Structure 1
């Protein structure tokens, strides 16, 4: 899948988490960003172009859709989001950021956003090994990455569903 579809699915996952334990709009933003992070191992991706040295190093060391396409990476993304939320919390009142998420909300939004990336990539022919290295089980589907007949409707539906969950439509 492409970045736009991943971001839309992550926004949906974050909005869903936000509906449960936080703010759906903040959840959308966190989920969308987190959904792009697993592709940091691909220098041509949105995140890979912005973090080029890290991206090139990851691709050389492990390849694409390996380390960053596991549930363990998603957990790290969630933990880091929770940590950032906690460390920044004292400054949110001074900066007038009443929407700032609590650490459980930020962590869950980010974890589910990153996990949505794995779910979508598992539908492609290349697939993913989400439990590697513990369980070498490759999940793959019939879809071709970048197929506009799949990507456009999927991104649109995820984005509309996220906006609906957030109460924006």
Structure 2
């Protein structure tokens, strides 16, 4: 999936989590965008890879694309790192939900991801699409509609509760 689809997917995941939690909405959703982009640090042409080119090149040279940074192991290590160094629970939850949304979206591509890294097994959904395809455009539109709906829900709950 493209960076824009991952951003929209991260926002949707953050807003969905916000519906069932007491996290700070702005921090949660902002962090979910960061988390949705983070796994592609292994791809030098990605939005985050272009932002941190040296780190991206190193990670890509060691692991390649869609392996370690797209795995449950990486998700676990990021969670452990944040538990030790970051105190804001909304931020931590946003990063992790954004990463999970990234994994889900990339599992909908033909290549899939190495979710169980270091095992060399590609995990993908039974129905897949190509990155940048018309089908991805439809997914992005549907996620955008979901974001609008969940955004209105978030705003309405905020005003009703206050």
TM-score (norm 1): 0.78
Is 2:86 aligned against 1:130? no
1:28-43 aligned within 5 A = 28-43=29-44
1:113 aligns with 2:98: yes
The residue that corresponds to 2:23 in the other structure is: 22
TM-score between both structures, scaled by the size of structure 2: 0.81
Please give the per-residue CA displacement for 1:4-37, whole angstroms capped at 9, x wherever unaligned.
Answer: 1111111121222333131223211110111000
Q: Which runs of 5+ in 2 are unaligned?
A: 157-162
TM-aligned CA deviation for residue 50 of structure 1: 0.9
More displaced 10-residue stretch of structure 1: 49-58 or 68-77: 68-77
Q: How does 1:52-131 map to 2 (within 5 A)?
A: 52-86=53-87, 102-103=88-89, 105-131=90-116
Q: How many residues align?
A: 153
Q: Which runs of 5+ in 1 are unaligned?
A: 87-101
CA-based RMSD of the aligned residues comes to 2.4
